[in-house]
Structure 1
Amino acid sequence: MIILENEILRATIAPKGAELQSLINTTTGIEHMWSGDAAYWAKFSPVLFPIVGGLKNDTYYFNDTAYQLPRHGFARDKTFAAEQLSLAEAVFTLTHDEQTLAVYPFEFVLKLRYRLNGSTLSCTYEVYNPGKEELLFSVGAHPAFAVPFVKDTNYSDYYLQFNVAEKLDRWKLENGLIAAPEPLQFDNNTLPLQPSLFYEDAIVLKHMQTNTITLACTKNDHGIHFKFDDFPFFGIWAAKDAPFVCLEPWCGIADSVTHDQQLKNKEGINVLAANTNWQRSWSVACF
C-alpha cells in the first residue's frame, strides 16, 4: 500500500488497480471511502480502462478481428508499478504486455497520479501512445464514497448537489447497454439519495454542464465536493441497498443496444495519435 498524508488528509492506494481504498479527513476523523465490504461490492475505486461499461455481447471488432473484454476492461485487475514521489504524491503506471495485446491490440502507457493539496485529493489519468498507430481507448473513474459517513445518520439524510441548474436525462440501461433516455427527477439541482435510485442499475448522464457535485448531509456540515472537468459522461451508482454512492466521471460509455460493435464507431471513444499524450483529472475536497 502507498500512503499519502498531509496536515488534513490521509489517503491509501493499492498498487493492484492503482485503487484508492481510503481517504480520511484526519481533522474530523471521517473516512470518506467505502469499506469494500464483499457482502455488497468488494471494490473501492476501480479505474475503468480501456473501456467504460459493457460491450455488446462482450465483444468489439477492430481491423476485422473480434476481441472480447469484460465490463470496464482489465486495468482494475492489473498490478501497477508504484512510485511515491513525496509524502503527498504518487504515480502508478501500467503498460501493455502480451496478455493485454491478446484482447486489446494497442500499445499504451496508463498513469494514475494522486496528489494531496490541503483538504483536496486529485487523481489525474495520463495516457501515452508509444506505438506507431492510433490508440483507441476509454477511461473512467469509479470511486465509492461511504454513505452514511457520520454516525447516527441514515442514507436518506444525504443528497447530491449539482453546481449548475440544468435539465438532465437519465439514460436507462438494458443488460448493461445504453437504451432510451428519461428525465432525471430532481429539484433545485439536488438529488436526495435513496437506495431505490439504483434498483435499475446506474444513473447514466451525458454532456452535462455540471462539473462539481457535492455529497452532503442534512444533519451535519460535513461532506465532499467532487470536481471533474472535460468528462463527457457521468455515472452515479450503488449496489442494491449498499451504504455507499459512486460518483463516476467517464471519457467513454457502454455500448448502445444498437451499436455495430466496431471500436472506431464506439460512442465517446478517444483517439490518440502516435507519440502523443492525453490527460484528465478529478478531485475530491473534504469539508
Structure 2
Amino acid sequence: MINITNEYLQVKISTKGAELQSIIRKDNQLEYLWSGDPAFWGKKSPVLFPIVGNLKNNTYSFKGEPYQLSRHGFARDMEFEVIEHTESAVTLNLSDSQTTRKNYPFPFSLNIRYSLQDASLTVSYEVQNTGDDTMYFSIGAHPAFKVPLEEGMTYEDYTLHFNETETADVWMLSTSGELSRTPTPYLEHTRELPLKKELFDNDALVFKNLASTAISIKSEKKPHGLTLHYAGFPYMGIWAAKHADFVCIEPWCGVADHEDASGKLEEKEGIVPLSPEEIFHRQWSVLLF
C-alpha cells in the first residue's frame, strides 16, 4: 500500500490497478471513499483502460482480427510499477506486455499520478503511444464516494450539485451493458439531483456533454462533502450498486458500445486515436470539505 499525505489529507493507493483505497481529511477524520464491501461492490476507484464500459458481446475487431475485452478493460486488475514517490505525490506506470497484447494489440505506456495540494487530490492520466501505428483507446475514472459521510445521516440527506444549470438526457444501459441509441430526458433546467438509491435500479446514469465541469456531493444538514472537477471529459457516469452506501461520479473519455455498434474499434463512439509517440493528458481532482 502506498501512502501520500500533506497537512490536510491522508491518501492510500494500491499498486494493483493503481486504485485509490482511502481518502481521509485529517481535521475531521472522515473517510470519503467507499469501503469496498464485496457484498455490494468490491472495488473502490478502478481505472478504466483501454475501454470504458462494455463492448458489444465483449468483442471488438481491429484490422480484421477479433479481440476480447471485459467491461472497463484490464488496467484495473493489473499490477502497476511505482516510478516516482514523494511525501505528497506518487506516479504509477503500466506498459504493454505479452499479456496485454493478446487482447489489445497496441504498445503503450500509461502513467497515473496522484498528488495533493491543500485539501484537494488530483489524479492525472498520461497515455503514450509507444508503437508505430495509430493507437485507439478510452480512459475513465470510477471513484466511489461514501454516502452518507457521517453517522446519523441517511443517503437521502445528500444531493448531487452541478456547477452549471443542466437540461440533459441520459442514455440507459441494457441488461448486457450496452447503451440505447435513444436518449431519455432526465435533468430539466436544474443544478440539483437529490440522491436516492432507486436512481440506480437500472444501472448507471450516462450523460453526454454536460455543461458542468464540477459535481458536488453535499447536504444541508452537515457542512462536509466534496466537489469533483473534471474539465476535458466528455462523458459522465453516475452509479451505485443496488442498496449500497456510495455514489460513483465517473468522468470518462469513452463510453460503452451502443446496441447497434459495428464492433470495429476505430468506429467506436468516444474512442481516442493517438499517433505514434503522441502523449494524451487528462486530469480530474476532488476537493474534500
Band the TM-score falls in, shorter-chain normalisation: over 0.9
Does the aligned pair in 1 maintain the 2:106–2:131 contact within 8 Å?
yes
The 5 Å alignment of 1:124-135 reads: 124-135=124-135
Q: Which amino acid aligns with 2:178?
A: L
- CA drift of 1:217 comes to 1.5
Question: What letter matches 2:40 in structure 1?
Answer: Y
- Out of 262, 273, 276, the position equivalent to 2:275 is 273
| 2:209 is equivalent to residue 200 of structure 1 | no
User: Could you tell me which residue of structure 1 aligns to residue 178 of structure 2?
Assistant: 177
User: Deviations along 1:3-47, whole A, 9 cap, x unmatched?
Assistant: 010010000000000000100001111100000001100000000
Corresponding residue of 1:211: 213
Name the CA distance, whole Å, in 2 between partners of 1:240 and 1:187: 27
Identity of aligned residues (%): 45
Query: Matched residues in 2 for 1:23 and 1:62: separation?
Result: 39
Which residue of structure 2 lines up, in the alignment, with residue 11 of structure 1? 11
SS in 2 for 1:161: strand
Task: Give the structure 2 partner of residue 20 of structure 1.
Answer: 20
8 Å Cα contact 1:138-1:268 kept in structure 2: yes
Q: Does 1:77 align with 2:80?
A: no
**Corresponding position of 1:146:** 146
SS of the equivalent of 2:167 reads coil
Contact 1:92–1:111 (Cα < 8 Å) also in 2: yes
- Paired residue secondary structure (2:198): helix
Cα distance in 1 for residues equivalent to 2:123 and 2:136: 22
Separation of aligned partners in 1, 2:81 and 2:205: 33
Contact 2:197 2:242 (8 Å CA) reproduced: yes
State the TM-score, normalizing by the size of structure 2: 0.98
- Please say if residues 166 and 188 of structure 2, whose CA atoms lie closer than 8 Å, have aligned partners that are also in contact: no
Which stretches in structure 2 are left out of the alignment for 5+ residues?
Answer: none
Residue identity in the other structure for 1:183: P
| Offset at residue 184 of structure 1 (A) | 1.3
- How far 1:124 moved relative to its partner? 0.4
Q: Within 2, Cα distance between the matches of 1:246 and 1:129?
A: 29
Shift of 1:92: 0.6
1: CA distance between counterparts of 2:11 and 2:276? 34
Judging changes above 3 Å, is the alpha-carbon distance between structure 1 residues 141 and 283 closer, same or farther for their aligned structure 2 residues? same
User: Partner of 2:68 in structure 1?
Assistant: 68
Normalised by the length of structure 1, the TM-score is 0.99
Asked if 2 retains the 8 angstrom alpha-carbon contact of 1:2 and 1:84, the reply is no
SS at match of 1:201: coil
Query: For 1:187 and 1:257, how far apart are their aligned partners in 2?
Result: 29
Are residue 242 (structure 1) and residue 247 (structure 2) matched? no
Distance 1:185 1:209 in 2: 12
Instruction: Please list every run of at least 4 consecutive aligned residues from structure 1 whose deviation after the TM superposition is greater than 6 angstroms.
Output: none
SS at match of 2:50: coil
Q: Which residue of 2 aligns with 1:39?
A: 39
Secondary structure of the 2:150 match is coil
Conservation of the 8 A alpha-carbon contact between 2:165 and 2:189? no
Q: Is the 8 A contact 1:236 1:246 kept in 2?
A: yes
Map 1:44-59; keep pairs closer than 5 Å.
44-59=44-59
Amino acid at match of 2:80: F
Q: What is the RMSD of the two structures over their aligned residues, measured on CA atoms?
A: 0.9
Secondary structure, aligned partner of 2:101: helix
User: Shift of the alpha carbon at 1:84?
Assistant: 4.2
Q: Deviations over 1:142-169 (max 9, x none)?
A: 0000000111000000110000112010
